[in-house]
Every structure is written in structure tokens, then in C-alpha cells.
Amino acid sequence: TTLKVLHTPGHAPGGICLYAPELATVFTGDTLFQGGPGATGRSFSDFPTIIDSIRDRLLTLPGDTTVRTGHGDPTTIGAEAPQLDDWIKRGH
């Protein structure tokens, strides 16, 4: 399986996600969970940056891509994409 590295700063400056197109799966660690982005309350984290990473690098993947998170249940890009505006409004 080939993994494509996606630079997804926000939770941490050097944050990455691993995308396996052949498996229709992305491993997001603490960048994206079911229901929202990862934590950004640390001194090295940044909410606008994680939102940019999710919007520009993850939500551009096919909607049926399975999201394997660092914690909790898996989800899909298609299930998470419609929630982006709500995350921005909530600021977390």
C-alpha cells in the first residue's frame, strides 16, 4: 500500500495525516475526529491553522474516504465535510 503524506499543521506544527488511496482511508491522528478537529488549546496549536489543514487537505479527498482517527470511532470525509462551518462558528 502506498501512503501519501499530507502536511496538516494545527494540532501541532509538524502534524501530518497519511492517505492510502488504494484503501480509501486516511489516518488523521489528532487532526480530525468524528465530529470535529483535534485540540488546539496548547501553546503550539492553532485553530485557524487546523481548520485550513482540514479544509484544504482532508475535505478535498473523496467523500467515501474512511477517516481513522487517533482516538474514537472512525468516520468518513463525507460525514465530516458538512460540519466545517459549524466548527468555525464554535471556534473549536
Tens-place pLDDT, residues 23-40: 999 999 999 999 999 999
pLDDT at 14 over 70: yes
Q: What is the pLDDT of residue 41?
A: 86
Domain boundaries, the chain: 4-90
Count the neighbouring beta carbons within 10 Å of the beta carbon of residue 1.
Answer: 8
Phi, psi of 60 (to 5 degrees): -85, -10
Which residues are paired to 6 by β-bridges? 17
pTM: 0.93
Give 4-90's CATH code, choosing from 3.40.640.10, 3.40.718.10, 3.60.15.10, 3.40.1160.10.
3.60.15.10
**Residue 92: band (very low, low, confident or very high) from pLDDT cuts 50, 70, 90:** low
- Name the residue among 67, 53, 55 with its Cα closest to residue 15: 53
Count the neighbouring beta carbons within 10 Å of the beta carbon of residue 49.
Answer: 18
- Name the residue among 71, 86, 89 with its Cα closest to residue 30: 71
